[in-house]
Copies of this chain bind each other. A is one copy, B any other.
Amino acid sequence: MKAANEISASVIGRLPRYYRFLCELQNDGIVRISSGELSKRMGFTASQIRQDFNCFGGFGQQGYGYNVEQLKNEMASILGLSTLKQAILIGAGNMGRAVARQMNFAEMGFRLSAIFDCDKNLEGLKIKGIPIRPNSQIAEFCAEHRPDMAILCLPQNQAPEVVDELVLLGIESFWNFSHYDIHAKYPAANVENVHLSDSLMTLSYKIKNRENR
């Protein structure tokens, strides 16, 4: 079993997908699965799957396959889904509202505890029962509640100032929907960027090259 800092970003990037597939298998009533069958369903090679799992100490007995529920629980534990983590959302525009309403935060151990927006007209409105507060209350809220993570759904030009403030307030982890490059200024921060336009551009490439077939 490897220490967390020895595990590559690409292995870590595959863990959520394993977890998702295992949840689906469990919902379908499947109790046990071989790495071969898992490989067929997920599109990874069986040896890739075994290698990935070996980073965390294995999980399976040769020839017996994996117990789906047990493996799912192991994955949840590795991913820290059962650790309670407090999140705040900055930006209650279209994307912020969609994220707040759509995501099942509790399922992943997150609790969305506050929502902030610089638009004073939104103050006091609620999303999923959580009132929208003005950005001027970020400092006080963070000092009192010590959130673990901030979700950034604000325009790129507003992001630098807000991130500076959040970092000073001790926030180290960001789920970043803005296109602001947090790592360039704060290389030690935990950042997951969501670049929806990258995904759409990749699809554009595929459409173009499909037409040229």
Q: Which residues of A contact B (CB under 8 A)?
A: 4-5, 12-13, 15-17, 19-20, 41, 43, 78-81, 83, 85, 93-95, 97-99, 101-105, 107-110, 148-149, 172-173, 175, 179, 183-184, 190, 192, 194-212
Partner of A43, one of B94, B172, B183, B208: B183
What B residues does A195 contact at CB under 8 A? 16-17, 20
Q: Is the CB of B99 within 8 A of A196?
A: yes
| Closest chain B residue to A21, Cβ basis | B181
| Complex CA–CA separation, A208 to B172 (angstroms) | 12
What are 16 A-B interface contacts by the 8 Å CB criterion? A4-B212, A15-B205, A20-B197, A79-B201, A80-B208, A81-B201, A94-B97, A94-B101, A98-B98, A108-B197, A110-B204, A149-B203, A175-B203, A190-B203, A192-B199, A192-B206
Q: Is the CB of A206 within 8 A of B173?
A: yes
Partner of A78, one of B13, B16, B94, B205: B205
What B residues does A19 contact at CB under 8 A? 201
Q: Is the CB of A80 within 8 A of B199?
A: no
Consensus secondary structure, chain A interface? helix
| Complex CA–CA separation, A199 to B172 (angstroms) | 16
What B residues does A105 contact at CB under 8 A? 200
Q: Is the CB of B13 within 8 A of A207?
A: no
| Closest chain B residue to A104, Cβ basis | B197
Q: Is the CB of B198 within 8 A of A20?
A: yes
A202-B13 contact in complex given A195-B20, A207-B173, C-beta closer than 8 Å: yes
| Closest chain B residue to A4, Cβ basis | B209
A13 to chain B, nearest CB (A): 6
What B residues does A43 contact at CB under 8 A? 183
Q: Is the CB of A80 within 8 A of B209?
A: yes
What B residues does A149 contact at CB under 8 A? 203, 207
